[in-house]
Structure 1
Amino acid sequence: MNGQEYVYKEPKITRLVEIKDRLRTLFAKKFVLAETAIQIIEGSSVVDLSKLDENQCYLQITSVTPYFTAEESKSRRTPFEACVNLARFMFETPFTISGAGQGNSVADQYKRKTILTVAKHFPYTKKRIIVTAKQEINLSPIENAIEAVDARYETLNAEIKTQQPNFKTLQQVIQGSVRLQVNAGPQEICRTFFSETAAGRDSYSVEHIQRLKQSLSNFLGACAEALLFNKSNVDVNTPSSIEFQEEMEQGYAQLLVGMEQYQVTPPEGSYHPLLAQSTLSNSSSSSSISASLNDSKDDPSSDINNSSPASSYGFLSVPSRKSITQRLSNSFKKGSHLSDSLPNGAESI
């Protein structure tokens, strides 16, 4: 069995520690060994065989997911179709040129996708099937960033388009998406790959740069849609819910400011939280909003075109959104109040 690989099918709720203990016991009995003689190697990193003890048996265990090509994904539209006739599986391994697993920057982070092909299709009469072929695909740092952003976009979409939304998990996903992050966040990705002074910028193809910008734009649009969806379901009688929504909207506005300098903006018509005086926390603001909107309608130089009903719900055209994010940027730099940086009549309703 030396060097052989198998894919095991386990229930979703199976924990890694359960599999480790079961396989250790199974192979100890099979080869008449003490369980202490069988060592478990976790993860998918390449193992240096020269560093292994010849008197020990080793099992390397990692989780895999079904692998589909783009064409297969389109044909497998239902959850059932995504769980049957499975013969290819994939696991991912982060790596760097220096040999370390995790890099200090997204510019150093590569990823290896290993695709395994098994002899039969799952579901099968046996719970394990031997691997007959292996394929490796190495992704460059910018390709890795594109996949990471696309994955976050898909996660947001899945949360807001499910038939029975779970607002607890939705809010966790929103929080992890719009809050400013030190490492590998959207702004860090922009700085790494779009900045004029970025190291290795010339090595990135125009196609990859455009794909990454499009992925980030889609991501911002999904964040806006998730914020609007959560806002429409906020319990106005719960201060913590209101506070969370306002905090996330402010984080999103800051995210827009940081990414706009790299020409990355949400899709046209995306929801924009205006962050002036939220009606979630001020029930008396509706009359002042109405007056402000009426005033701005008469002003031809107003940043918001009130002839479109979308503007009444915080949906802005690109020129209006750009104007607001520029003023927000100035506000953050000067430390002034957010409401001072917004155009007249721009209220969140």
Structure 2
Amino acid sequence: SSLHLTTHSFLCSLLEKIEQETWRETGISFVTSVTRLVERLLDYRDCMKGDEMENKKIGGSVNLMNFYKSEVNKEDMYIRYIHKLCDLHLQAEDFTEAAFTLLLYWELLQWEDRPLRDFLHYPCQSEWQRKENLSRKILHYFNKGKCWEYGISLCRELAFQYETLYDYQSLSWIRKMEAAYYDNIIEQQRIEPEFFRMGFYGRKFPFFLRNKEFVCRGYDYERLEDFQQRMLGEFPQAIAMQHPNQPDDTILQSDAQYLQIYAVTPVSDISDVPQLERVPERIKSFYRINNVSRFHYDRPFHKGPKDRENEFRSLWIERTTLILSRPLPGISRWAEVERREVVEVSPLENAIYVVDNKTQELRTLISQYQHRQHHGNINPLSMCLNGVIDAAVNGGIARYQEAFFDKDYISSHPEDTERITHLKDLMQEQVHILGVGLAVHEKLVHPEMRPLHKKLVDQFHMMRAGLHHVSSSTWDSCFHCIPLSLSCSPLNLQGSIRHSSSSLSSHTSSEAGNLVIMTDGLMGEHPEEALHMQVRLEMKHTPARV
């Protein structure tokens, strides 16, 4: 805007005037700090206009709040913008983000009796009282946001304080609240969000967005197409980029707005904790998508000449991992990407990854049905079983066998012996899980859907027959251990990944509007489609032995 240009021109002329002064370094530091503050204040003013969307207002507030904390150390202004940001979150009903925002002020307070003056909406009170009242408010917001795990640590902090003061009435109250949070974790269903990477390129974007990339935590039930439309609505002047490649300087320096969006997968550290192996799925699932600061997305490519007999042999994956400046969820649904790492995944490694993640997805879904989380709607289970079994019969796993269990491949790749064995184990495990899934499906399927169930069972027999590179006795023991009449106890479904209605298999690249769309399609005969994966979570898993 003209005001931005006028302000910039004035500050540049100010820098020129102090160039020859003895206090030049101090002056330059001051002018630079003022310049950065003015930039943020102007962005904040533009974002807070009445017709602007909540995300812009929140982004401008976060930007200014962080400046007051880290660059000029103005604690009173920092606290004011903490509360402005919290109010914006409450208006948007982002209760988890509101709780994390208030925690910033909570962390500045001590459990001391020092008197505090009235400030904002707080009355004159001791620091201890203010921190206690703030704790209760934060707990209320974590509860409304269904993030009880974060509230539990705060319950324990309050309990310690009450116990120290022999305030047994308050101690009883907070212990009951903590117990209720555990009950909620076990009993209540929570929707697992999708995550989206956004790139804002061009000089027309505000300073806090310009030529930066972010990962956003989507709303409940929000899919990629919905998110794209929402973001285009918030930035109506933006030109949607039609590819996922990094932009060149022409786009970065242009007087325009370019918006690039695609789905990304959270990468949790939960798989590195061995004692979680036997933890129920509904408890583990929270940790796979919360407190996450690493996300990845994949791009398939052929290294060297394309193998015409079996494209899986030459199909590699370029995996890009985005590392955020802070984990999600947090003080905003958005977090800036701090750096990126790119690695290449070999065809065999990717086959292991795809089979393992599909098996984990099955575990999650079957576990949900065993705990009656879907209220009688069996369609997601039917679709998932059909997708995996059909892909195994018509392509997918069978093509992996041809590619990697072939004698010529094994003899020419002795370094892959351990990985080949691991892939065989994972295939064995997938058959076992499919048997459990079919047993659950048989128990719940509506009479009108019996023909579909029979088709799935028939295809399952074909799948087992087709997997000839693993001993037939193994497959027989798998299947006979899990008869379709549920005469045996269901499998203890440990360790898996999150399931959503759009995650029944891989992501393929297609176009919707002008945006890069990474949508879901079944793993079939075409490896480019099968391996353009946005699989939900990379994790290690020990195959179930039958």
TM-score range, shorter chain: 0.5 to 0.7
Structure 2 residue runs of 5 or longer lacking an equivalent are: 1-208, 489-546
Partners of 2:366 and 2:394 lie apart in 1 by 26
Q: Secondary structure at the match of 1:129?
A: strand
Residue 112 of structure 1 and its aligned partner are, at CA, apart by 2.4
1:81 equivalent in structure 2:
287
Residue 47 of structure 1 and its aligned partner are, at CA, apart by 4.1
Residue 209 of structure 1 and its aligned partner are, at CA, apart by 0.6
2:221 equivalent in structure 1:
13
Partners of 2:413 and 2:287 lie apart in 1 by 43
Q: Which amino acid aligns with 1:9?
A: R
Q: Which amino acid aligns with 1:88?
A: R
Higher-helix-fraction structure:
2
1:158 equivalent in structure 2:
364
C-alpha deviations, 1:62-118, integer Å up to 9, x for none? 122321132158659434434432222222222222699xx9722222222222221
Distance 1:194 1:92, change over 3 A: same
1:114 equivalent in structure 2:
320
Q: Secondary structure at the match of 2:360?
A: helix
Structure 1 residue runs of 5 or longer lacking an equivalent are: 29-34, 280-308, 311-349
Residue 269 of structure 1 and its aligned partner are, at CA, apart by 3.6
Q: Which amino acid aligns with 2:297?
A: F
Aligned residues: 265
C-alpha deviations, 1:36-56, integer Å up to 9, x for none? xx3222564x34738969565
Distance 1:83 1:144, change over 3 A: closer
Residue 194 of structure 1 and its aligned partner are, at CA, apart by 0.8
- TM-score using structure 1 length: 0.63
Residue 8 of structure 1 and its aligned partner are, at CA, apart by 2.0
The alignment status of 1:71 with 2:282, answered yes or no, reads no
Question: Does the 8 Å CA contact 1:249/1:273 hold for their aligned counterparts?
Answer: no
The alignment status of 1:62 with 2:270, answered yes or no, reads no
2:299 equivalent in structure 1:
93
Question: Does the 8 Å CA contact 1:253/1:273 hold for their aligned counterparts?
Answer: no
372, 390, 414: which one aligns with 1:179: 390
Distance 1:254 1:98, change over 3 A: same
1:39 equivalent in structure 2:
239
1:207 equivalent in structure 2:
418
Distance 1:229 1:200, change over 3 A: same
Partners of 1:3 and 1:73 lie apart in 2 by 40
RMSD (CA atoms): 3.9
Partners of 1:254 and 1:177 lie apart in 2 by 13
Partners of 1:11 and 1:21 lie apart in 2 by 13
Partners of 1:219 and 1:154 lie apart in 2 by 9
2:65 equivalent in structure 1:
none
Residue 205 of structure 1 and its aligned partner are, at CA, apart by 0.8
Distance 1:27 1:179, change over 3 A: closer
Partners of 2:233 and 2:438 lie apart in 1 by 49
- Of the structure 1 ranges 209-218 and 261-270, higher mean CA displacement relative to structure 2 is found in 261-270
Question: Does the 8 Å CA contact 1:8/1:127 hold for their aligned counterparts?
Answer: yes
1:257 equivalent in structure 2:
465
Q: Which amino acid aligns with 1:65?
A: T
Question: Does the 8 Å CA contact 2:297/2:321 hold for their aligned counterparts?
Answer: yes
- Of the structure 1 ranges 136-145 and 158-167, higher mean CA displacement relative to structure 2 is found in 158-167
Partners of 2:320 and 2:466 lie apart in 1 by 35
Q: Secondary structure at the match of 1:91?
A: strand
C-alpha deviations, 1:283-313, integer Å up to 9, x for none? xxxxxxxxxxxxxxxxxxxxxxxxxx98xxx
1:342 equivalent in structure 2:
none
Distance 1:116 1:50, change over 3 A: closer
Q: Secondary structure at the match of 2:467?
A: helix
Residue 146 of structure 1 and its aligned partner are, at CA, apart by 0.8
2:18 equivalent in structure 1:
none
Q: Secondary structure at the match of 1:62?
A: strand
Residue 206 of structure 1 and its aligned partner are, at CA, apart by 0.4
Residue 226 of structure 1 and its aligned partner are, at CA, apart by 1.5
269, 287, 311: which one aligns with 1:105: 311
Distance 1:244 1:204, change over 3 A: farther
Partners of 2:246 and 2:411 lie apart in 1 by 30
Distance 1:47 1:64, change over 3 A: same
Residue 23 of structure 1 and its aligned partner are, at CA, apart by 3.9
248, 270, 277: which one aligns with 1:49: 248
Distance 1:155 1:83, change over 3 A: closer
Q: Which amino acid aligns with 2:456?
A: M
1:346 equivalent in structure 2:
none
Question: Does the 8 Å CA contact 1:180/1:255 hold for their aligned counterparts?
Answer: no
The alignment status of 1:221 with 2:432, answered yes or no, reads yes
Q: Which amino acid aligns with 2:440?
A: F
Question: Does the 8 Å CA contact 1:64/1:90 hold for their aligned counterparts?
Answer: yes
Q: Which has the higher contact order (CA 8 A, sep 6+)?
A: 2
Identity within the alignment, % = 19
The alignment status of 1:191 with 2:402, answered yes or no, reads yes
